[in-house]
A and B are shown apart, each in its own frame.
Chain A
């Protein structure tokens, strides 16, 4: 500890005494050291502590770094495996503690920004001469933003229009390193909570503080003796469980709070503006539905994921409903209730005579409790049905089975859609309102139901484009068409696909033994149809085509959808939203041309869903940061995405189509990562219009969503950034001189990057030998293989995550910067 304190004193620039982070860091250092001292054999602890001290005192850019480094290398090389493992665990633990601490401090800062009543005195005060909204690039709260908008005289009508259209979707995805055991995650939460208690020290006696400290130590010692790794390869369902952890622990409760905050801030500054829809911010998930190169994601897995998600929701709703039943003890002796509620009780009585028998006496004059008993029964029946669905799999014909058994009870009485549940809750809410009562818990529950429904998060299917063309090729081969699909030109393909889309006769014969791959490609569509029948379309209606290159890629998916009954030809409605993912620089450049071809087809336009008050067709479109970065480097990838967005927005406006851009960002900078609010504020002006869909990658979930206030902070700043960017109407993105310069920079940086990465024949060997990539591929840390093709050792088949990950481990971090210098340097 001594040397840390010494360095602290010597390094005033680095650390100031008032920094809350620093004070707490000392706490963490002490904790870490004392745990090692008690847990490590012999003088191992001292050696490890010394090793950390030695690394800490390494001076950046100093001459002495060489000797420090050599010393560290010597120590490390002299360790036997047991000590190496102890060291790896000790340093790992250290960083996890630091991460928890930093999350805590960030959370505190956010809480303080609330209690600070003086919005006006915020440091980034208004500059009346600057295009204020465009210049502002720090995260803001709702209160600050609405205050600022009012001061800038943004008309209420304009704000209201935007808020009504607002639709923010955060899509959770899996990441190989984040399959932390629940056991460890719970320990982390406990440590965070204990830290929080210690940090509010002024309310603690000395004894209380000591007791908290010893609890903290106790917790970390237990952690040290816990296996941090799974002893088996995680399955897809393990990954699902991991991603859903944040919903269970944090998001269910955070979302109603987010709504409260926007409501209060709006009332304060724009009292007449109508609130955005309840689900203005909602969630999707790829875990369990994104197949693209992951053979373990089968239709059965997606089905079970959906059932699992519904099971979690039903459990939550059952708890909330019974709590409501405790609370809403209003008696007809003392209060009126609405007549529609009373009428509904009559209907329920006929349907659920047993419930009536059991409850009527007790709740005779307590209509809310009686109503909630019926609701509970319906939820329970829904749960029963969900269990049947989960146990029997997606191919099982439940209706047939139930008809045989003549058990029509479950069939009729469970909630067939979440709307029925909402309707019941609204009855209660309206009855309360009509008798001049309110109940916060009812509103909270309703908000949750609006956002999460019975499905929790929408599952997006993702599949690579070649899977569909391969399947169609096999089909045309089987049908012995005069021209095989793979022999057709793009124009011929389009024409053939449209013809087939417009015919009513089925194209795919049944009872054919397709290859396993094709069978699975078809099955996904059949399973989605079953999902929608059973769960409503909300559970799964987007189909993302990765590596999209051409218009036929989209039409192929539509044709398969039609064949499996996901396209209603009479009403010209598609039950599937086909979303192209453009993810190489070439494809990003081509994207507007591809989409224009499709928008010109009346048939295609008519299949797009109509949304909003304007009832305009909506196209969702995904931009991939990872592969474009791997393919062309950082500047080129970001610039092409920026340009594609502007071109696609212009194209959509010309065609009177609304656009929802789906940003496939990774957590690391080399895959589009960085603070979300910053990324949103940097979007070209005019492309958002309140609508955005973004991936939240597995590796950043913990840092964003593990603590409630932190989660709210992220959700709030993402929302304010969307509002802010949508209201800005600057012409900065259209400055010709800047655009020309950027195009040059992108080109130079791309060719410099490609010269090293794709044209230097030794680079692949270099990457394989000097990074842990091969070990990452072998280690069983993810359900998804590191390479798209089995056994291939070329760069193109390597997925973007291991590419960036490997370079990061060996501290090159090359994908996120290589080429930038040369580009900025050369004219």
Chain B
């Protein structure tokens, strides 16, 4: 990865020394490492694809690309600096906890997107009455307050799953 990205080997070497010896820098890197381990760009991509409006599609894709590129770069450099193969390799307990959470939390993210989408669709086209019939599936569409309540439940659920998040 590093040769491909052309990082300066001397600088990397110095950063590794800093990581070993300087408490300030070690703290910095360990926090970045911890956060990166909680990032899930697949889920993030789904938020962009499903919630981004059509007219913004291109500009949003560009932004996502910038973020995704920086994520890969950051992750590879953190691994080089810490000399590890995987994020959180040196903290087994944290790694196992984060990995369990990262997996189990996925439905909550998708649920949130689905509720936000329904909620925002309603805002864009104000319903005639609180309860309208969904034409396609002839199932009940829901009032804003119910959808908001659902969204709030997913927000609290993700906060509980991600811990220390805001």
Chain A residues engaging chain B, CB cutoff 8 angstroms: 14-15, 19, 21-22, 25, 51-52, 55-58, 60, 65, 69, 72-73, 75-77, 79-81, 84-85, 87-89, 91-92, 94-96, 98-99, 102, 134, 137, 175-177, 228-229, 634-635, 638, 642, 666-671, 673-674, 678-679, 681-682, 684, 699-700, 703, 732-733, 735, 737-738, 741-742, 752, 756, 760, 762-763, 765-766, 769-772, 775-776, 778-779, 781, 801-802, 804-805, 808-814, 816-822, 824-825, 827
- B residues less than 8 Å from A52 (CB atoms): 104, 107
- B residues less than 8 Å from A98 (CB atoms): 100-101
Q: Please, what's the 1-or-0 string for B142-166, where 1 marks a CB less than 8 Å from any CB in chain A? A: 1000111111111111111111111
**Chain A residue at smallest Cβ distance from B24:** A682
Chain B interface, DSSP helix/strand/loop, else mixed: helix
Contact B152 A229 (CB under 8 A): yes
Contact B39 A812 (CB under 8 A): yes
- B residues less than 8 Å from A824 (CB atoms): 7, 11-12, 15, 74, 77, 81
Contact A770 B47 (CB under 8 A): yes
- B residues less than 8 Å from A96 (CB atoms): 160
Contact B104 A94 (CB under 8 A): yes
Q: Please, what's the 1-or-0 string for B42-82, where 1 marks a CB less than 8 Å from any CB in chain A? A: 11101110011100100110110011001111111110010
- B residues less than 8 Å from A805 (CB atoms): 159, 165-166
Give the distance to chain A from B82, nearest Cβ to Cβ, in Å: 12
Given contacts A741-B14, A822-B73, contact A771 B47 (CB under 8 A): yes
A-B pairs with beta carbons under 8 Å apart, 23 shown? A52-B104, A72-B110, A88-B154, A91-B108, A94-B104, A95-B105, A177-B155, A635-B28, A667-B164, A667-B166, A669-B35, A738-B25, A756-B67, A769-B51, A776-B155, A805-B165, A810-B44, A811-B39, A816-B35, A817-B36, A820-B74, A821-B70, A822-B70
| A817 partner, pick from B39, B42, B99, B100, beta carbons under 8 A | B39
Give the distance to chain A from B64, nearest Cβ to Cβ, in Å: 8
Contact B32 A817 (CB under 8 A): yes
Contact A684 B24 (CB under 8 A): yes
A25–B73 alpha-carbon span in the complex (Å): 35
Contact B22 A775 (CB under 8 A): no
A825–B7 alpha-carbon span in the complex (Å): 5
Given contacts A738-B18, A760-B63, A766-B56, contact A87 B35 (CB under 8 A): no
Give the distance to chain B from A63, nearest Cβ to Cβ, in Å: 13
Give the distance to chain A from B157, nearest Cβ to Cβ, in Å: 3
- A residues less than 8 Å from B5 (CB atoms): 825
Contact A669 B31 (CB under 8 A): yes
| B160 partner, pick from A69, A92, A742, A779, beta carbons under 8 A | A92
Contact B96 A15 (CB under 8 A): yes
Contact A811 B107 (CB under 8 A): no
Contact A21 B93 (CB under 8 A): yes
Contact B153 A88 (CB under 8 A): yes
- B residues less than 8 Å from A781 (CB atoms): 152
A263–B146 alpha-carbon span in the complex (Å): 55
| B107 partner, pick from A76, A81, A137, A756, beta carbons under 8 A | A76
Give the distance to chain B from A64, nearest Cβ to Cβ, in Å: 12
Give the distance to chain B from A568, nearest Cβ to Cβ, in Å: 42
A679–B76 alpha-carbon span in the complex (Å): 24
A814–B40 alpha-carbon span in the complex (Å): 11
Sort A-B residue pairs by CB-CB distance and give the 5 closest, nearest first: A821-B74, A821-B73, A92-B157, A682-B27, A805-B166
Task: Count chain B residues whose beta carbon lies closer than 8 angstroms to a beta carbon of A.
Answer: 97
A816–B151 alpha-carbon span in the complex (Å): 25
Give the distance to chain A from B50, nearest Cβ to Cβ, in Å: 9
- A residues less than 8 Å from B74 (CB atoms): 817-818, 820-822, 824
Contact A732 B23 (CB under 8 A): yes
Contact B22 A738 (CB under 8 A): yes
- B residues less than 8 Å from A21 (CB atoms): 93, 96-97
| B63 partner, pick from A76, A666, A762, beta carbons under 8 A | A762
Which of B97, B102, B140, B155 is the most central at the interface, judged by chain A CB atoms within 10 Å of its CB? Answer: B155
A735–B21 alpha-carbon span in the complex (Å): 11
Contact B43 A811 (CB under 8 A): yes
A95–B56 alpha-carbon span in the complex (Å): 35
| B11 partner, pick from A779, A822, A827, beta carbons under 8 A | A827
- B residues less than 8 Å from A56 (CB atoms): 100, 103-104
- B residues less than 8 Å from A770 (CB atoms): 44, 47-48, 51-52, 60
Give the distance to chain A from B17, nearest Cβ to Cβ, in Å: 9
Contact B28 A638 (CB under 8 A): yes
A73–B12 alpha-carbon span in the complex (Å): 41
Give the distance to chain B from A822, nearest Cβ to Cβ, in Å: 6
Within 8 A of A (CB), among B88-128: 93, 96-97, 99-112, 114-116, 119
Contact B53 A769 (CB under 8 A): yes
Contact B155 A772 (CB under 8 A): yes
Given contacts A72-B107, A91-B105, A775-B148, contact A699 B161 (CB under 8 A): no
Contact of B41 with A by CB under 8 A: yes
- A residues less than 8 Å from B71 (CB atoms): 817, 821
Contact of B136 with A by CB under 8 A: no
**Chain B residue at smallest Cβ distance from A725:** B23
Contact A77 B114 (CB under 8 A): yes
**Chain A residue at smallest Cβ distance from B28:** A638
Given contacts A72-B106, A84-B115, A766-B60, contact A228 B166 (CB under 8 A): no
A661–B72 alpha-carbon span in the complex (Å): 36
Contact A765 B44 (CB under 8 A): no
Give the distance to chain A from B137, nearest Cβ to Cβ, in Å: 9
**Chain A residue at smallest Cβ distance from B10:** A827
| A810 partner, pick from B35, B47, B59, B115, beta carbons under 8 A | B47
Which of B77, B110, B116 is the most central at the interface, judged by chain A CB atoms within 10 Å of its CB? Answer: B110
**Chain A residue at smallest Cβ distance from B8:** A827
Given contacts A88-B111, A95-B101, 17 further A-B contacts (CB under 8 A): A14-B96, A22-B96, A76-B111, A88-B153, A96-B160, A703-B163, A752-B70, A762-B56, A762-B59, A765-B59, A766-B63, A776-B155, A809-B158, A811-B41, A817-B35, A821-B75, A825-B5
Given contacts A80-B140, A176-B166, contact A812 B156 (CB under 8 A): no
Give the distance to chain B from A776, nearest Cβ to Cβ, in Å: 7
- A residues less than 8 Å from B53 (CB atoms): 769
- B residues less than 8 Å from A752 (CB atoms): 70
| B26 partner, pick from A137, A635, A638, A801, beta carbons under 8 A | A137
